[in-house]
Amino acid sequence: MAKPLKMNKKFRKIAIANRGEIALRIIRAAKAIQIETLAFYSDDEKNAPHVEQADEGCSLGKGELKDTYLNVEKIVALAIENGAEAIHPGYGFLSENAAFAQACQDAGLVFIGPSVEVLQQMGNKVTAKTIARKAGVNVLESFVVDASGAFELNGIFHYPLLIKAANGGGGKGMQVVYNAEELQQKAGEAARAALNYFGSEEIYIENYIEDARHIEVQILGDAFGNIVHLHERDCTLQRKHQKIIEEAPATSISLQLRQKLHEAALAICREVGYQNAGTVEFLVDWDENFYFLEMNPRIQVEHPVTEAITGVDIVKEQLSIAAGNPLSFSQDEIRINGHAIEARVYAEDPLNGFAPSGKPVLHFEMPGDTNIRIETAIDLRGGAAQYDPLLCKLIAWGENREKAREKLISALDETTFLGTETNLQYLTALLETPEYIENKLNTQFCQLNIDALLLQIQQKNELTGHQWLLAAALFAWYGIAKETASVWLRSGFWRLYATTDILLNGQSYFIRFNIKKNMLDFHFKEKKYSFYLKEINLEKRKLLFENEGTSKSISFFKTQNAKLLLGLNGAVFELQNSSLLDFYPDDFFKENDDEMPGSEVINSHLFGRVVDIRVKSNQTIRKGDVLMIIESMKSENRVLSPRDAKIKKINVVVGEQVTDKMPLLYLENL
């Protein structure tokens, strides 16, 4: 275990060129060592948690990301104006931008990360491979291509191939190509994504290892030539090249291979004189051959699992190193303690093709276990904009992998987000598979097992006892809150056994029930149930029930259109009470005619950004034609024509942010 951090030199104030949970993480580390923080914000989130928790806040104004969080000139000028001595870029945004690091340096600010030269070398994935090869590390051969996809493969390349952004990372825009026919289309998509995300459409191609593990090594280096590793993480479980579950250490590979990966990562870092925190990523095949993949010269989303098993606060070390201090520990002092697993909770709907959900979070509940680390920036007041689909990260530590897995499953079951769809149940399903338990995984596992995983979720929901949901609904509507009970009481319907109609999962149930204080009796499917309400927490919107010796906690949120959202074991159920419809305005239940079959409008079905429009006004289109492409959650989604028609009006432009159900195009009959 590492020693407590000692700093001879320290910044007085740092600026944070980021937002959300990573900004909160940096603020927490800075406060712990008495460093003041300056938070930047766009005007639409001036009351966001990262602004409130920082010592000072500074507006970046209005506009798109390029005008705010990606505006290098503005960020540097405001940091100087407000007395910051250094800037921490977090991850994403400007964290790997060499021009930003250079601008900081030119202005006399310390960039809390590697040098400009290292960012230039390691930020370009093709150049990074050259450096890795020079350091004696195996690499996957690659070559740079243009967006046309018009090139010939030589003998060392074979399908499937992987197309990647040369100046990017994080899996954004990556495309797997299985044959020559796909090359042109997917090369164009990858180049477009690279330009949108990283400002350069340079892409490259490498051989794709289908049956591989993704293992990465966390490193730290200082200005005195000290470079250490903090062991490795297994990030094999990915969906569309996006990590969703990460763990440390990587017990899936042999100890000998782990040591070789550590040595390879350190060799690459020594080759470039690396300073500050970084991660070296590798692909490992089933014969334990390994290949350098890329280096991320920044803090990683999944850094908490490494902190959990080593006791090292990586962000504090970043701040100390950048201030000019040597590492606070040597390699020999780092020991592994137990096992840690992180799950990323996203706003997406697995049962609807993982469609991104930009719906607002109406209520959320986090695990109460103090042994679970929670990283989130969710703000129910609307102070924080949802730039990213990541709702929270849950990190579980255990004495061994199985105990950490069990703790994380319990934490996921205790987590609730009402109002938006999430991947909570999908994460639990992954952790419960025999392959995960036995640690027999590869990077394609999620894709190859998608049908079985979704079926598992559906079956689990079907097995959820509807009597529990109905009990919660009856108490929520008629038994607990004065504002809801008043509707019932004013109606004059109260009697020994009342009746109501409840719609659950598309099915209507006629219920006879009686509530007396904390006791509820009701008849459902010719059976009588008795529930005891053990606890009510109106502030947290939680009900704790007991039935036949079993207790369950259910979260609830009542909307203003007679609907009720209930959260149980990571699942969210929507119920509607037809008996209460008379007490709500008709406007709450009007259908949007634009969404009906045969409508002349095509609405967006997700939240995202328009990256390409394939049609023009007055153009004739055929059913199935690609009309436009919307980027959301690091993937491109095609908008297809539902029928033969003519384009009457295009309602959006390239680069515009769109929301769920927003009109995109208007059609007219031929």
Instruction: Say yes or no: do domains 338-462 and 593-668 share a fold.
Output: no
pLDDT band at 2 (very low <50, low <70, confident <90, very high): low
> What pLDDT does 660 receive?
64
User: What does the pLDDT look like over 316-363, one tens digit per residue?
Assistant: 999 999 999 999 999 999 999 999 999 999 999 999 888 888 778 899
Mean pLDDT of all residues in 481-486: 43
Average pLDDT, the chain: 87
CB contact set of 481 (below 8 Å; sequence gap of 6+)? 538, 558
Mean pLDDT of all residues in 245-272: 97
Would you identify the CATH topology of the domain 593-668?
Answer: OB fold (Dihydrolipoamide Acetyltransferase, E2P) (2.40.50)
> What pLDDT does 171 receive?
65
596 SS3 class: coil
- 143 vs 326, more confident: 326
pLDDT band at 8 (very low <50, low <70, confident <90, very high): confident
For the chain, the structural domain boundaries read 13-112, 146-208, 212-336, 338-462, 464-582, 593-668
User: What does the pLDDT look like over 20-39, one tens digit per residue?
Assistant: 999 999 999 999 999 999 99
- 489 vs 89, more confident: 89
To the nearest 10 degrees (0 to 180), the angle between helices 72-81 and 98-106 is 30
As a whole number of angstroms, the distance between CA 305 and CA 245 comes to 11
| CATH 3.40.50.2000 assigned to 13-112 | no
Q: Is the pLDDT of residue 144 over 80?
A: no
| CATH 3.40.50.2300 assigned to 146-208 | no
Catalytic residue list: 298
The CATH number of 464-582 is 3.30.700.30
Cβ-count burial 251-286 (b if 16+ within 10 Å, e if not):
ebbeeebbebbbebbbbbbebbebbbbbbbbbbbee
| pTM of the shown model | 0.86
The superfamily CATH assigns to domain 338-462 is ATP-grasp fold, B domain (3.30.470.20)
User: What does the pLDDT look like over 651-661, one tens digit per residue?
Assistant: 998 878 776 67
User: What does the pLDDT look like over 389-436, one tens digit per residue?
Assistant: 899 999 999 999 999 999 999 999 999 999 999 999 999 999 999 999
Mean pLDDT of all residues in 471-484: 72
309 SS3 class: helix
> What pLDDT does 24 receive?
98
User: What does the pLDDT look like over 274-289, one tens digit per residue?
Assistant: 999 999 999 999 899 9
User: What does the pLDDT look like over 359-388, one tens digit per residue?
Assistant: 788 999 999 887 899 999 998 877 777 677
Percent of the chain topping pLDDT 90: 58
Mean pLDDT of all residues in 429-448: 96
The CATH number of 212-336 is 3.30.470.20
Mean pLDDT of all residues in 523-530: 87
User: Of 105, 442, 381, whose CA–CA distance to 253 is shortest?
Assistant: 442
User: What does the pLDDT look like over 155-167, one tens digit per residue?
Assistant: 677 788 888 877 7
Q: Is the pLDDT of residue 520 over 70?
A: yes
Lowest mean pLDDT among 257-261, 446-450, 522-526: 522-526
> What pLDDT does 197 receive?
66
